[in-house]
Amino acid sequence: MSLRILFTGGSGKAGRHVVPYLLDRGHTVVNIDRTPLDDPRVHNLTADITDSGQMFNALTGYAHLGELEQAEGGPKPFDAVVHFAAIPRILVTPDNETYRINTVGTYNVLEAATKLAVRKIVFASSETTYGVCFAEGEVKPEFLPVTEDHPTRPIDSYAMSKLCNEATAEVFARRSGADIYGLRIGNVIEPHEYATFFPRYFDDPSLRRRNIFCYIDARDLGQIVDRCLATDGLGYEVFNAGNDDNSVDLTTTEIIEEFYPDVPVTRELGEYEALYSNRKIRDLLGFEEQHPWHRYVRSPRQDD
């Protein structure tokens, strides 16, 4: 089924791959971003997510000039909202500004969408909510694999904003009855980055410690968003968004022995199974990985 989707942040590192994925599946996408997405199929709109009025206006407007021909009584409502727009990490803007933009922006998007009766909202949360990625010093998970019920314990402004957004989303889902799904997105890898980054990860696996050795191919993230849009009736949920394997050329057991010898392991793991568990998106959403790293870069083990 083709959906009319308002997508915030569709020109960013993740969005510029997720939006084309949705377009390829026949959806109509309006992209709200400060920079237009260079795809002739997308409809770009410049708007400020921290301005509540602009969000209400964007959600009640036409997607493109062609809709004027079919207009009867005003623009069609949007079927879904995908909210990715944010300050993308710490050390981009001052901490208070990161927190303000990310939390106020998300509140405005959620409020406008639910008050305008949008029944499906997908928003970007983050792996950083677990408190490992931007920790001061080394922080290890409390248990492995890291599932969605792992404690969230951020200390930085970015992760704090994402955790606040999860609480906000849960309230709006409870109040409105809409399906609102949060994606705790791992380290996003674009197609051109495999050749540059992964040989470094193979040489020094410790580079991946802060990401719990996780990655998510930006195109597979597109599939995850699409599966969220197609899966109804879950209410409020959060999902880890990562690929099936770890981002280094070590077995899962080797990673645990080297980096997490004292961390409890709660179940048997596959030989290369990701320590940042994506079991929930596979079981509830039907996600099937299409872009594992070994399709794009040669493993040193293959040369042994």
Tens digit of pLDDT for each residue in 146-202? Answer: 999 999 999 999 999 999 999 999 999 999 999 999 999 999 999 999 999 999 999
Identity of the residue numbered 182: G
CB 144 within 8 A of CB 275: yes
CB 88 within 8 A of CB 12: yes
Q: Which residues pair with 45 in a beta bridge?
A: 32
CB 85 within 8 A of CB 7: no
Identity of the residue numbered 51: D
Q: CA-to-CA distance for 81 and 119, rounded, in angstroms? A: 9
What structural domains and CATH numbers belong to the chain? 4-303 (3.40.50.720)
Residue count of the chain: 304
Q: Report pLDDT for 65.
A: 84
Tell me whether residue 220 is exposed, middle or buried, using C-beta atoms within 10 angstroms of its C-beta: 0 to 12, 13 to 18, 19 or more: buried
Q: Report pLDDT for 71.
A: 66
Tell me whether residue 81 is exposed, middle or buried, using C-beta atoms within 10 angstroms of its C-beta: 0 to 12, 13 to 18, 19 or more: buried
Q: CA-to-CA distance for 24 and 239, rounded, in angstroms? A: 24
Site of tokens 């500004």: 97
Q: Which element (helix H / strand E) includes 202?
A: helix 194-203
Q: Report pLDDT for 68.
A: 82
pTM over 0.95: yes
Q: CA-to-CA distance for 73 and 83, rounded, in angstroms? A: 27
Q: Report pLDDT for 302.
A: 64
Q: CA-to-CA distance for 36 and 85, rounded, in angstroms? A: 13
Q: CA-to-CA distance for 101 and 115, rounded, in angstroms? A: 21
Q: In this predicted model, what pLDDT tens digit does every residue of 236-265 receive, in sequence order? A: 999 999 999 999 999 999 999 999 999 999
Greatest CA span in the chain, whole angstroms? 68
Nearest to 146 by CA among 56, 279, 49: 279
Residues of the chain where predicted confidence (pLDDT) is lower than 70 = 71, 302-304
Q: Report pLDDT for 67.
A: 85
Q: CA-to-CA distance for 27 and 42, rounded, in angstroms? A: 10
Q: CA-to-CA distance for 156 and 134, rounded, in angstroms? A: 7
